[in-house]
Structures are given as C-alpha cells and as structure tokens.
Structure 1
Amino acid sequence: MKRYFAVRGGVGDLTKPDVNARPQDNLYLAVNSAWQAQAEIPEDKVDAGINDELDTRIEKKLINDLNEILEQTVAVPKVPNFDKAVKLYQLAKDFTRRDKEAAEPIQEDLKALLSLKDFKELVELAGDLNNTYLTLPFSFSVEADMKNTKVNVLNFAGPGTFLPDTTSYEAEDATSLLEIYRKQTLHLLAMAGVAEDQVKTLIEAGFAFDKKLAKVVKSTEEWSDYPAAYNPVSYDKFVAKFESFPMASFLEEILPTSVERVIVQEPRFLDSAEELVNPDNFKELKGWMLIRFINGAAGLLSQEFREAAFPFAQALSGQPKLIPQERHAYYIANGSFSEVIGIYYGQKYFGQDAKADVTDMINKMIGVYEDRIANNTWLSDETKKKAIVKLRSLVLKIGYPEKNQAIYDLLEIDPNKSLYENETAMSKVMVKYQLDQLTKPVDRSVWLMPANMNNACYDPQRNDITFPAGILQAPFYDLHQSRGQNYGGIGATIAHEISHAFDNNGAKFDELGNMTNWWTDEDYAEFNRRTQAAIDLYDGLEYGPAKLNGRQIVAENIADLGGLTCAIQANKGDQGEMTDLFENYARSWAQKQRPEAIKTEVAVDVHAPQPTRVNIPSQCQPEFYETYQVTPEDGMWLEPEKRVTIW
C-alpha cells in the first residue's frame, strides 16, 4: 500500500473531480467530485458552487420582488428608504434611456478633467474631486481609533493599482493585462468623443504613474496585517509631507473640524507623497485620473459602454459574458442601498424560529470556546482570564438590524437625472457623511454587512460578530438538517468568526475593541510560534495555476482551524454524527472556478480558496482520523507534529 508522507491538503488536484476519491485520501474530492464533474460555470460568472448558489437564490428573490413592485402587483414595503432603492433599480434597468443618453451624462466631468492645464488648476479643483468619480491619488476616511474605540479619527491611505495587487506586476501576464486595460481605456474615451491622438500620450503617462504607485502602496499581504495600519502622525508632520500639494487648505475644505493627528494606514505611500504629487508629475496625475474616471463611469452608461469596459475584467476573471442587465441593475441598487434592501430581506425571509435557534447555537459555541480556553494547556491563567472576559463581551448581530443608518435618509434619487448623475450626487453625500463622523462618537450599533449578504464577519474594533440572514440557509443552516450537518455548516462558521477575536490580528484587541496587549510575554511568544506553524502549513500550497501565500491568509486559516475544532466539540456534546459534520463542512465549500479567477483571487483575497479550506483543517482534527480510520498510508494523513492546534 502506498504511503503518502504527510501530504498537506490530501492527495489529488482539488480543481479536478475524482469520483473514486475516498475521504481518507481527500475529503473534499470524496464529498464533492460527483457535483464537480457535472457542475458548469455559467457564462456570466467566474465560478459555480454552494456559495454562488446561495447568492443566486437571494438575488433572484430580491430581483423578483423589485420587479413586482415596479409592475405595481405589490405595494412598496414599509421599510424606510426602500422606495429610493426601487427608484434607483428602475433607473439602472432602463437601458432604452441609458442607450439613448450614451456618453452625454459624463461630458461635463470629462471636459473638466481634460481641460486641466496645470498642477495649480488641479489643486484648485481638488476639494470637488474628492467626492466624485474624478478620483485623487489618495483618500481619507473616518474610523474608530484603534486604541480608543469610543472616538472617531481621520485615516489616510493611498489608492489602488490598475492590476489586482502590487505582486501582480511581477507576474508573467502583467504586460498583456496592462495592454488590454490601455486599449480598453482608449476605446472608451473614443466612444465618449475623445480621439486617441488627443490623449494617447496622456494615457501612457497615467500608466507610468500607476507603475510608480505599485512600488509604494501596500500589497494584500501587507493589508492583511490589520494593526499595522495604525500609524498616528501629528497634523503638522502629516501636512509637511506634502510640499507641493496644499494639504492643509485641502483638509480645511473637506473636513467638518480641525484634527490634531492623522492615522496613516500606508506610511510608505506618505513618505513618497511629494515624489508622486507635484507639478512635474501633473501629466501623469491627469492621465491616471482620466483612466480611473472613464473605466469607473462606463458601467453607469449605455450597454455599449458596459461591453466596452468588459475586456479587462474578462481577462482577470475568465468570465465569457457580461452579467445580464437586470442583475447589473440590482447590483447598482444594492450597492447604494444595501442595508435598506437587507432589512427588507431579513423582515420577509428570516423567521423568528430560525433566529432563536441560531442564537442558541451561537451561545453554545461561545460556551464551547470558553471551555476550550479554560482547559487550554499552553496559556497561563492570567491570559485565560482576559481571553474569557473578551469572549463574554462579544456582541451578537443576528439576522438583520432593527433600523438602517442615517445616511440613507440623506440620499435622494432624481428620476429626471441620469444614472451617472444620481450616483455622483449620492457619492458626494456619502463622502461628506462619512467625514462628518469625525465630530461624532463611534456608533457601535452599525452592522458591517447587510442582511441579504451570504457571509459573516467579526469586527475587532467593536468586538462583535455579525451573522446576516443571507448565510442562515442550507447547507450552512437548516432547521430540518441534522445537528451534525448544522455544526459542520453554520456551527463551524460561528466558531470561525469567534476565532477571529483571537487570530493574529484580533489577539491584539481587548474586550472593548481597543488595541492593547493583554497577553503575558510567554503566552504571546507561544501564540506566535503556533501562528507561524499555521503559515507554514499553507504556504506554497498549489491550487490550480496559483500558489498560496501563507502569511496573507493566516488570519482566516487560524479562524478555519479554530472554527472546525469548536464545531466538533459542540457536536460531540450534542451526540451528533461526526460524518454528517465533516461531509457538510466539505459540501459547504464546494466550488468550481475559472483558472483566471483563481489567479486573481489568490492575489487579492485574505481567505484561502474555498476547496482548500476543507482538507487542511480536517487533517488537524483527531476526530477526523477516528471517524474515517485514517492511517499513515492514507492521503489525508498528516504527521502529528505537523498538525496545528491554536484554539
């Protein structure tokens, strides 16, 4: 019998079905190969899988409901501001009008940008540019202070790059991808009435600016270190970094009050700010802004513009066809009114019985987690006590919020104006509202996810976990599933989110969400050793055409490991079938992706690809070996010393 010598993730290629696979050799393939063999990725999507099925189920319900409201077969629901979402959906769906308007809606902004003669004129217009589709190469946001989460502070960051990540510029296809984007940009501008010979050198300059940015902005791996984004700089030192750009007067124009300091999320970018934003670079700045503008606005114009703006996204995703107009219209409405639509979804489709059952399950999982911390063999009593205080302080947000945020009361839809004009007007209101939070205390009731989203999250600065109604459906959760199946689905997800309170980022925040050290030195050193073991366990793992970056995805992997461990313990307590748990856990991550989409996802996502989230966490569970009688001769065997247990 063949011995596999501790294969990380089991034997076999997760992207290729093997209907003869055994769970002892590859749990994911054993459970999902039959599905994978017959599954087809829709031409207007990048993948197929359980999560896509749930997303589609939610979208179809909401699109159908919006259409019925437009057809007046049902009344507009009595959810505050839902009528605005309906109006925006109607506007976005009216392609007869959008096709007729063509590029007309953007002409005023396009001409304003093209007419900029020098750096001085750009500076004079900067305050207005800050809140429109004419993007500046830096941004400000207001967020809770990581070290005092009762107050809001001003944050500063650089822009994104044209390619998905800074590491994408080192890939073999970087040149060809940028060429596709360049041709797409020139085509869009020509459609808007701007001849290629008028802007060709300007566009080349814009790409040169993007190349400079790629050397100084953060990579996804760097962004995954959440606490590293906290770099307080005094106001005087901050504005002094900008010698050419009048940052002091700019901040005075856009902020509701003065500030004493700025939290710099990207210190390297700030150190390079003067080299990037100066009169000598005006042409590059203007070209870069023009590229961002025309590509960003195209999706709000005609069908012809939508199609012309598709090649770059297509190259990154492998998706053969553009998404249909109706779904596109829904995405626009949901993008601006996500919380409003989410509350409607929660009220209509999420029952109180389900909420009570899920709440009970969450409390059980918290109890299991507390038991595991109390019996932890590598933590001191001092650290255990503080961890349990944090655990008991967790705030639960389940289903949907009771009310939507005040921002939605301020948004208006004018049916006499174009979709682009409405989106621009709302963007201005949203930017102002966000910056106005600088004078207000932190609102801890805010939900980070809308209720119609199939997802869940942990917020370290509020120490809360959110489980939207959208994820609370089969196979993750169903009142009619066995307890083992529910623990393998929503149970593991619940414990995953709890684990984020104690991952490599969450471990640096206390029960109030403040970044502070509550560990003993010895305990934290051991935690770091185990974290490094988790990094090593995933790093370099091949998935399709990509290799995983263990450091970039470590927080999510710690949560996956802890989530499955706790779900197993809870299932034991309820005497649930362990095969039900493992098989539903594997089923919940079933996914089939296009190769291009895999490459892009691995570059920009802090999660491991869905299929890879099944086998490695299972390989680290003693119960997996017991349930399937896995031996050293089997493909899923991992040497005991290589198995990672943190929580």
Structure 2
Amino acid sequence: MKNRGGILICTTVLTILLGMSVVTENAKADTVATADQSVLSEQTTSTTPNEPVTNPVTTDQQRSNPVDDALTVPTPEVGQQPGGNWNIYPSSATPQDNYFYYVNQDWLLKHANDQGTDNYSIMENKTDNNLEKDLSDISSGNKSADSATKQAADYYQKYLTTLNSKKPDIQSFKKDIQEIDSMKDYSDLNSNMEELINGNLNTPFLITAEPVLTNNLKNRLTFSVTSATNKLPTLGSDDEAIATRDLYYENMPKLFRMLGFDEVKTKEILDNALTFADLISRNSDSSLVDKDPGYKQNIVSISDFENHFSNVDFLQYISNSFPSATDIRIDDPTFYDNYNNILSKPNFEKMKDWMLVSDVLDNYYVFGKTGKGAVQNLVQEASDTNEGQALDATSDGFRTILSKYYAENNLNGKTTNRIESLVDNIISAYKDNIQDNSWLSNSGKTQVLNKLSKINVKIGGPTEIKGVDDFSSIKFSKDASIYDWDKQIDQYIGQSVEKDFTTTNEKGMWTMASYEANANYNPTENSITIPAGLLQDPIYSESDSDSQIYGSIGAIIGHELSHAFDNNGSKYDENGNYRDTWTVAVRAKFDELTQKMVDEYNGIKFDYLVENGQQTLGENIADNGGLNVALQVAKSLSDFDAKEFFSAYAANSRMIPGYYVESDYATDEHTIGPIRINVALQNIDDFYTTYNIKPGDAMWLDPSKRVRIW
C-alpha cells in the first residue's frame, strides 16, 4: 500500500515536529500531515542510524577507559566554543564542565553500547511492542475493540501472515505487473493513467492535491517527481554504489522469476530501470523542493500544463478526476522543464521497465519470506522485524483509527487536564513576554499576540473518525491477498480526495499519530499537537514535580509554540496562510537577532560533526523560546526547584551518538542532542546562578554572546 499521500492527499504543506527531523516524501514513512509533501519532522524521530553502528574511530583516550570509551567525544584543539567540554568522561563531569554529561551520566553508562539509542526511540519501541500485541489480540478475538480498530487489526495480521509466508498469494500483483509489461507505447500509459495513479502502482510523476499556500481553505493540484517509495541503486562508481548494484542484480531476479520473467528479460528490465532512474535524477532538482515555500511558487494554468507534454496526456485524467482545477503547482521546475526529454519516445521501454522494477521493489512484501530476503539490503524498512513492518504498514493506512484507539486506552483525564493547564500557563507567559519585548514594534506585538491567541492546541488523540479516514465502507475479503486490500484502500482514498477537492478544507483534523513519542507545530493550521505517545516516562510522569514537568514537557510545549515565530513559521499568518504580517523593520530586527544565533551555533564541533547554524536555526530558535518561557512559568511556582527544572530539561535529549548518527545530523534541521542541551542552557542567565558557573568554566558563555529572541 502506498503511504496515504502517495495518492492524492495533502492537507498540509509543512509540519514541524519536535526533535530529530526527517524530510520525507511520502513513502511508507510517517506522513504526519499526509501526502507527498515535504514533512519536517521535529524532535523525536529516532536517532537509530541508517548504517551499522560500529564506530570506526577509537582514540587512545577511549581505549584507556573500558567503561566510558563509547561516551567520550574527542574535541579538536580549538579555542573555547559553546557547548561545554567533551574531553572528559561522563562519570567525572560537573555542571561547570559539561551539563549534558553531568545529568545523564548514569543513563549514558547504562546504554554505552547502544549507539543510536535515545529517549524517544526507547519510548516508541515500548509503544510499538504494546500496539503489536494489542492488534494481534484484537484480530484473534482475545481483546475487544470497535469495528474500525478490528479492521485495522485484521489488516495487521494479514500483512504479518504474508511476510511470514513461504507461498504467498501474488496473483493480483502478477496480473498488474503483466498489464504494465504489456504496454506498447505512451497511448497505453495515457489510457490507464487514472488506474495507475489511484491504484497501488508507480508512475514517473505524481499529481497530488494540497491546500493553496496563501488560502488553505481551498485546494490546488501539485505536479512532482515519481510516486515510487524506494529508490533504485545509482549508477555511481564509488564502492557503496557498486556494492548496492551487485545486491540489486543478485536478488531482484528472484522476484521477477516468481512473476514469470526469464533470466534474459529480467536482466534487460533491471538495466533499463537503472538507466531511467539515473535519467530522472540528472534531470530534476530536489533542492528546490525543500526551500522556503515562498521562495518561488511555480504555478501554471491547467491548459498550459496539459499542452506542455509531448507524449504524456494528462488532459483526460485531470478532466475526469479534478474538473474544477484551474491551475497546478510545479514542485520541481527542472523536472518539469526536462520532462519531454525524460519521457521521449525512445525512452518508453526504459520508463516501463522502471515502473516494473519500482513496483516490485515497493511491493516486495507481497512475496512473503522470499521478498523480504531479496530486498533486505536494498530497502531500509526490510531490516525491521516482521511485526514492526506490519505495524508500520497498518499505521500508514489506519493512522487515525489507531490514534483514536491508542489515546483512548493510554491517556487518562488527569494527565490531559494537567497538560491543558501547562499549555494555558505557557501561552499566558508567552503573551507577557511579547508585551515586554524590546525589539518588536507595537504593530509587531499586535500581530504576534493575535497569532498566539489563535493557536489551536490538540492533546492526546482524535475522538472521531471521519472523511477520508473512515474505511467503514470498505469490505475486505478474507480470501483476498494483502495486495488486494491495499488496492482497495488506495482506490478509496484517491476517490475521496477527488470528491473533496472542491470542498472547503476542514481545520483541526488530527493528522499526527497519537502513539508517536513526538510533538509538532503545523504552520499551515497554526496548531500544536501533543500526542498521547509523548506523555509517558521519561518525558512525563504523574509523579514528577511541577518543576520537572515544566523543564521537560513544558519546554517541549514552549518549543512548539515558538515555531510559530521562528524563521519559517513567522511567515504564516494566524490562519495558517503563507502571508508575512510583519513590517520590513520588524523582520530586519528579527533577522539581526537570528544571525547572532546562527553565529553562536555555527562551527561547533562534536566528534565527527560540525554544526551548521543556518541549517539548524529554526530548531534553535524554538529551543531558546521554549526553554525561556517554560522557565518563566516554573519560577512563579511556590515550590520551584531550579535544579529539578534544568536537569529535567537536560534529560529530554539523552542519546548515545556515533559516527552514523552524526552523519545523519550533518543534514538535519536539528542540533545534535548533547550540543542542543548545553548551548540552549548557556543562553539562560539563571543556569549560571543555579550552578555557580564562572568565567573560565567550559559551560560559561560571555553575556554578550548569549542570545534570546522570544
């Protein structure tokens, strides 16, 4: 099954989550706000590395201490930088040396051999295990649930049974593959376009529906690159590329053989697919997709769009599916401009073979044990347990249904009330801060306060299932294959999105999984979401003191609110439309302050990683604002304990880094956890008085270099 937005869903252009981030283009990954849109995940995407976690570098200092060796980060010999001293062992750290090490030393020692582990991955593993057991019990009848959850549980069990099968049912998939293979020219592609787009099959283009950036109550079509989930190997000459291609040629024939292709034909298909994938890569520019959405809105009329293509005819598809559409946004202008060269008549067979291979790769699970074994080293998700894969697939299709179930069974009213109170107190303090702000003009304060007062707060999970998430009309046959079930879901979603294209978009819909250990701010809705999955130990416990609560979940809430006023979120108005309401003078002052923050983080060295202050600016602004406002509220408590507050904050981002984790952070929007904690605290004056930190201490930062924006 394609991920939800792989077919035409897009209720959100941009969603920001709270910690480690991933930009996904919809493909069996968490879509949060749906569809093949850029999704900026914020804080708690697990730090589990994409590569083996063996650290290839061991220093002499590390060898000398077998207990702490995995935890010591060698810092280059440079002048004192923000972030503390990383040339010490956690067990000997003091607040003056390295606060992250000082607070988390016991946890770091416990997990010393678990590179890639952090608080959030541990929480999510626990949640996933519980959900897997619940779904299994519900499907077998050992646990009761409503009909929607029972349907999701049956899907989970069907998917899991397929993965475990030595003789899976591939007949429906085989039939679709044969139909693709039988295409003779572009006229065949054109006549089958609606079935391809709304079904479970890949095309070298994607047409989605999304809210209009400047008027999110209305929808607009978007044209972008390829609907395939998993990328094919590249034609690169480096060792990794060669090794991946070797695995591709060794294993993919096993699956094509099951589909009835002979060895010679398969080799030709595999060759053509790589050539076409390379052609797409060389004639597109994904860097434009992730830019500020206001960078350049490439909008063309439907008639100009339809006339742009030589061989591919979108006229009938758009006329039938979206007859009211008047224009379309071009996600990647480079791809659009080169499209006729990519899909030229001489390239038809290559395109068709790319479709065959990408469909087989994306639907490997329908081949059962053989399929998983074949793509083990080609598809990242295939390295997960069968239960984990089945849960991820179920989450892709039944996210809102599972979210309602999880929240109802894992969040009590007492916790909800406490979090609601925290949110109210933090928003109130934020308003006070804006009133006292020294750099905003009066009109600027009015605009910020107006937006702050209209932020929609969602806590826990959805309370109802409606619209495109309501699968009650879908009847699954027990005798059908998992592929058949996926097609039913995809076709239903595609038809629903087509039907709803002209309706006014409903705001406040729950789009984030309630079982995520995460939180988000959605600028296109001006909303924050605090899901039930985040409200568990160690981030939240009913037994925690108020000081601890504000240092932990309170700072997270403040972080999400601050995203409304970071370098990206501040360009959306109170209704979530892309409209900069600030004056030129206010924007200039804000840019001046944020440049100080860029300079503060830029160039900080952490083991293999060098921080990029511009790349991480939005998250650093949110950390700074969230920590300040949470501290402000906490200090008003009669029993406030500063050490409890700061230590709870430092425990939020506990993690065991390593080479591959740090490599991921090199392109991430977030500062790596240890640096993230220490530098955020170095900007807080109360932190210095609480721990008697003085000039010359590694955790000291001169007052002139401390930054506060909100």
Normalising by structure 1, what TM-score?
Answer: 0.89
Q: Deviations over 1:381-415 (max 9, x none)?
A: 11111100000011111111221232223444322
- Structure-2 separation of matches of 1:149 and 1:364: 29
Aligned to 1:385: 446
Pairwise CA distance, 1:216: 5.0
CA contact (8 A) 2:289 2:332 kept: no
Q: Aligned-residue CA RMSD in angstroms? A: 3.2
Aligned to 1:437: 500
1:133-532 superposed matches below 5 A: 133-159=200-226, 173=240, 176-177=243-244, 180-181=247-248, 183-190=250-257, 192-219=259-286, 223=290, 225-228=292-295, 230-253=297-320, 255-313=321-379, 322-407=383-468, 408-409=470-471, 410-532=473-595
- Structure-1 separation of matches of 2:608 and 2:182: 44
Greater displacement, 430-439 / 636-645: 636-645
1:583 aligns with 2:655: no
- Structure-2 separation of matches of 1:312 and 1:3: 40
- Structure-1 separation of matches of 2:236 and 2:597: 27
Pairwise CA distance, 1:379: 1.1
- Structure-2 separation of matches of 1:221 and 1:480: 47
CA contact (8 A) 1:24 1:634 kept: yes
Pairwise CA distance, 1:251: 1.7
Q: Quickly say closer, same or farther: Cα 1:166–1:192, change in 2 above 3 A.
A: closer
Greater displacement, 461-470 / 383-392: 461-470
**Partner AA of 2:364 in structure 1:** A
**Partner AA of 1:33 in structure 2:** Q
- Structure-1 separation of matches of 2:345 and 2:452: 53
Which of 21, 37, 47 is equivalent to 2:109? 37
Pairwise CA distance, 1:191: 5.2
Q: Quickly say closer, same or farther: Cα 1:212–1:524, change in 2 above 3 A.
A: farther
Q: How many equivalent pairs are there?
A: 632
Q: Quickly say closer, same or farther: Cα 1:497–1:418, change in 2 above 3 A.
A: same
Q: Deviations over 1:511-559 (max 9, x none)?
A: 1112212111111012223333434444454555554444443322221
- Structure-2 separation of matches of 1:632 and 1:187: 65
- Structure-2 separation of matches of 1:176 and 1:518: 52
Which of 113, 116, 120 is equivalent to 1:47? 116
Pairwise CA distance, 1:298: 0.7
- Structure-2 separation of matches of 1:191 and 1:37: 49
Which of 123, 130, 133 is equivalent to 1:61? 130
Which of 100, 108, 132 is equivalent to 2:167? 100
Which of 9, 12, 35 is equivalent to 2:83? 9
- Residue 501 of structure 2 aligns to a residue whose secondary structure is helix
Q: Deviations over 1:296-338 (max 9, x none)?
A: 1013431231122121345xx9xxx933323332222222111
CA contact (8 A) 1:163 1:178 kept: no
CA contact (8 A) 1:397 1:467 kept: yes
Aligned to 1:130: 197
Q: Quickly say closer, same or farther: Cα 1:352–1:121, change in 2 above 3 A.
A: same
Aligned to 2:663: 599
- Structure-1 separation of matches of 2:531 and 2:394: 19
CA contact (8 A) 2:474 2:489 kept: yes
Q: Deviations over 1:204-262 (max 9, x none)?
A: 33323333433454546851524447433222233333233212223224x24231111
CA contact (8 A) 1:301 1:419 kept: no
**Partner AA of 1:18 in structure 2:** P
CA contact (8 A) 1:400 1:451 kept: yes
- Structure-2 separation of matches of 1:520 and 1:586: 36
Which of 16, 19, 23 is equivalent to 2:95? 23
Q: Quickly say closer, same or farther: Cα 1:166–1:306, change in 2 above 3 A.
A: closer
Q: Deviations over 1:259-297 (max 9, x none)?
A: 111123333332232232332322332233233211110
Q: Quickly say closer, same or farther: Cα 1:163–1:627, change in 2 above 3 A.
A: farther
Pairwise CA distance, 1:442: 0.6
- Residue 81 of structure 1 aligns to a residue whose secondary structure is helix
Which of 86, 109, 115 is equivalent to 2:182? 115
**Partner AA of 2:318 in structure 1:** L
Greater displacement, 560-569 / 463-472: 560-569
Pairwise CA distance, 1:101: 1.6
- Structure-1 separation of matches of 2:538 and 2:618: 24
- Structure-2 separation of matches of 1:602 and 1:428: 39
Pairwise CA distance, 1:60: 2.5
Unaligned runs of 5+ in 1: none
Greater displacement, 376-385 / 129-138: 129-138
**Partner AA of 1:7 in structure 2:** Q
1:608-647 superposed matches below 5 A: 608-647=671-710
- Residue 90 of structure 2 aligns to a residue whose secondary structure is coil
**Partner AA of 2:106 in structure 1:** A
- Residue 494 of structure 2 aligns to a residue whose secondary structure is helix
Pairwise CA distance, 1:443: 0.9
Pairwise CA distance, 1:18: 3.0
CA contact (8 A) 1:227 1:505 kept: no
Aligned to 1:70: 139
- Residue 514 of structure 1 aligns to a residue whose secondary structure is coil
Q: Deviations over 1:11-65 (max 9, x none)?
A: 327xx963222332322222223322331677xxx83221012112222222222
Q: Quickly say closer, same or farther: Cα 1:349–1:161, change in 2 above 3 A.
A: closer
- Residue 99 of structure 1 aligns to a residue whose secondary structure is coil
- Residue 438 of structure 2 aligns to a residue whose secondary structure is coil
Normalising by structure 2, what TM-score?
Answer: 0.81
CA contact (8 A) 1:144 1:152 kept: yes
Greater displacement, 437-446 / 97-106: 97-106
Q: Deviations over 1:435-483 (max 9, x none)?
A: 3321111110311202222211111121111111111122222221011
- Structure-1 separation of matches of 2:555 and 2:345: 54
- Structure-1 separation of matches of 2:689 and 2:416: 33
- Structure-1 separation of matches of 2:152 and 2:113: 30
Which structure shows the bigger proportion of residues in helix conformation?
A: 1
- Residue 366 of structure 1 aligns to a residue whose secondary structure is helix
**Partner AA of 1:590 in structure 2:** R
Q: Deviations over 1:83-122 (max 9, x none)?
A: 2112112212324873222644521122222333333323
Q: Deviations over 1:139-175 (max 9, x none)?
A: 1222221211222222222237988899998998455
**Partner AA of 1:385 in structure 2:** T
Pairwise CA distance, 1:380: 0.7
Greater displacement, 268-277 / 531-540: 531-540
Q: Quickly say closer, same or farther: Cα 1:4–1:450, change in 2 above 3 A.
A: same
Q: Quickly say closer, same or farther: Cα 1:89–1:273, change in 2 above 3 A.
A: same
CA contact (8 A) 2:610 2:666 kept: yes
Greater displacement, 240-249 / 80-89: 240-249
Unaligned runs of 5+ in 2: 1-75
CA contact (8 A) 1:6 1:636 kept: no
- Structure-2 separation of matches of 1:372 and 1:128: 54
